[in-house]
Chains A and B, each alone.
Chain A
Amino acid sequence: MSRIIDVHDLNFSFGSGALSQPVLKNVTVSIQKGEIVLMTGPSGSGKTTFLTIIGGLRQAYHGSVRVLDQQLINSSEQVKVSVRQQIGYIFQQHNLLKSLTALQNVSMALEMQNRMTEQQRLDRAAEMLKAVGLGERLNYKPDQLSAGQCQRVSIARALVGQPQIVLADEPTASLDKQSGHEAVTILERLAKESQTTILLVTHDYRILDMADRIVELEDGVIKEK
């Protein structure tokens, strides 16, 4: 199996000089294709920072971060954009576009794929929304949907482009138990079907059983379990 995410001796600090605050210390992790990895750890331990570096949202300068065979350390904007396009994100908040319907929100993830026609995009998006149980809600806008439904739309948006990797940062934190569990179950099912690699940060112990592997980040240091 290939290493789809391969991190070696990653060091990262916020600030510079005397104010420099190290957040990630010699982090070394690799994740295989199709693995579901859950990351836990106390608040402030650097989990979010780690995800933003993996996802090409934040620039790191020390160590080695290979994602989908691209080096993200000291990378150009182009490399980061190309990595972003191959990754699906699920945020803590759903971060849907308020002015767009569920269908339009999901198909936004396909707009960059210029080989598709607009109709194909809409069909794929509708299919994906059906898969997350929102086939009846295609033309609803975010403010007409519940928080759980919105998070399911954002799961559909993250998966519709058939990304190799899905990164999720506490996707259930803003949901009640019931809808949080529903959302994660859907995510797990769909990811398994398409062999998608998942790196998911969570504090929710009830979903730990879906993981192939659990890593813990404490004070910027990785502990495998």
Chain B
Amino acid sequence: MQHANRLVIELTGVVKRYGRDTTEPPHRAHALEPHTNGPTGAPLRARALDGVDLQVRAGEIFGFLGPNGAGKTTTIRLLLDLLRPTLGKVRVFGQDPRSAGPALRRRIGYLPGDVRVGTRQSAHELLTHLGQLRGGVSDARIRSLAERLGLDLRAPIRRLSKGNRQKVGLIQAFMHDPELLVLDEPTSGLDPLLQREFLAMVREASDRGRTVFMSSHVLSEVEQVADRTGIIRDGHLVAVESVDELRTRAVRRVEVVFGHDLPDGAFSEVSGLEGAEVHGRTLRGRLTGPADSFVKAAARHEVVSFLAADPDLEELFFTYYAERGGRHAA
């Protein structure tokens, strides 16, 4: 298939600095190095993105992970031409978002990180309007999505709760069945049941050949749907990995309660388990990589309860961070 490896999103050396003069000509690149001063002598604003190279292929679900302020929203808004790169190249479907304009955005569904639609109108009115800006979306489609997410379309938007506003945002992103979905923290504000429904919607879109680019703080939700993930921190893309690779690096907090007191040193030799502590019948520790040997060791005893917490993203970031020899530290 000719388009199987077609790039849907391509960022090359993208630098983004907020503030005036956001699009510097390349020959002034040297003036943009960190810790230098601008033409007026004032220190230049920090770079929200500092040389990001990223590629997302057609049909892929790409998870974009990073802590607060890492640059996820900045990256996403560059794709929609809401922001312009200071340096570097942004391409969506091979086109520059700035010059391709409305025709390119027709092919994209976008969920803002903070869905804000402060009007008195009803959700139905707003969604119909947004659909018409896209050349018309059938009412049946809007209603079926609303039903699926459990949104009351008649409610005035201004009075909707955070989660319900998020549903409005999701519906407008999905309703025209776009070729590319760009979703900024799509599950924020959704309860666990709706998070599952959302992940199902992402999988269905992917089955239809759509490309999905979604940002998140939560590894577990990305891990459930994504094919690949990018990890960004302080404006640097520190890793792009398949979900399987990521999983083996993840550090999980585990807590097991046994039916009887444990013998001394029962879990000291288990590979992947660090910081094991035994208090009476309870074992706590941090598990990295394959869980196999830990589960088998635990299975030799009577297990009352078993908890493996969601991987801690900060710790995951830290492993990547430390690995790079603190290149971006300081």
Are A and B subunits of one complex? no
> Which residue numbers of A lie inside 8 Å of B, CB to CB?
none
> Which residue numbers of B lie inside 8 Å of A, CB to CB?
none
